[in-house]
Amino acid sequence: MREKKQEIREKVWRKLLEENVALPPFPVEGRIPNFRGAREAALKLRASSIYQKAQVVFSNPDSPQRHVRELALRDGKILIMASPRLRNGFIVLDPRKIPSNKVGIASTIKGAFIFGEKVLERVPSIDLKVAGSVAVDIYGGRVGKGGGFSDLEYAILKTLGAISEETPIVTTVHELQIVDSIPMDSHDVPMDYLFTPQRVVKTQRKYPRPEGIYWDKLSSRDIESIPVLKLLLQRRG
């Protein structure tokens, strides 16, 4: 499964480059790739009822979803981001505390550390989770850049009670990132909706969401490097 996922990643990264769709930062390999039309995809999400109902939005910190993050702040929504590799837990941004001329900066990971509040466990209840993707399929399958952090974020947030089975999980992607099929493991989080510059896809989701943190899949190094995992493990006893 690991080899198949990597094959899918490499195929998508290559295709985005060949079709002149990829945008900086480069190289795209090893990243959630930025793409032409990322803002249009974010605007498609903004127009959806699940976004409009949401008061608290969680988003990945990668480049193509910066538009999602900026729009959420401009629309007066609480924005939650994961710090890189979860080393500093989560960052909560309250738009009421951000000057209007600094919202663009605040929507970047660097700016989030300036204008946001770092939290480990006091995470507000999330109404919408936005994930970054390298590739997706119409059945809810998703593959990221390979670190497993998006899936781990979900597991931690569910364990903290900040996210539920009913919370919509979505991604913004280019049409070229939609592939025929992606293999999914028990800890992989399926998508409910895909937003591209051209359309909205409600996935024919056939995969269950993970039940929580699968501790047997984590190494002692993983746990040591992520403070919130150490905290949750101590509570678990």
Cβ-based burial of 11 (10 A; exposed 0-12, middle 13-18, buried ≥19): middle
**pLDDT on residue 23:** 98
Delimit the domains of the chain by residue range: 2-236
pLDDT score of 18? 98
Between strands 90-93 and 117-119, the pairing is: antiparallel
Q: Residue 139: what pLDDT? A: 97
pLDDT average per 10 residues of sequence, the chain (237 residues): 95 98 97 98 98 98 97 98 91 97 97 96 96 98 92 95 96 98 95 98 95 90 91 85
For domain 2-236, say whether CATH 3.40.50.10420 is its number: yes
What per-residue confidence (pLDDT) applies to 147?
83
Rounded Cα distance between 207 and 231, Å, is 29
Backbone phi, then psi, for 146, in 5-degree steps? Answer: 115, -5
What are the distances in angstroms from CA 209 to CA 167, 198, 206? 11, 27, 10
Backbone angles phi, psi at 131, to 5 degrees: -110, 150
* Distance from C-alpha of 134 to C-alpha of 11, rounded to nearest angstrom: 10
The answer to whether 33 and 172 are in contact (CB under 8 A) is no
User: Is the four-CA dihedral 91, 92, 98, 100 of positive or negative sign?
Assistant: positive
Please tell me the predicted confidence (pLDDT) of residue 237: 65
Contact 116, 141 (CB under 8 A): no
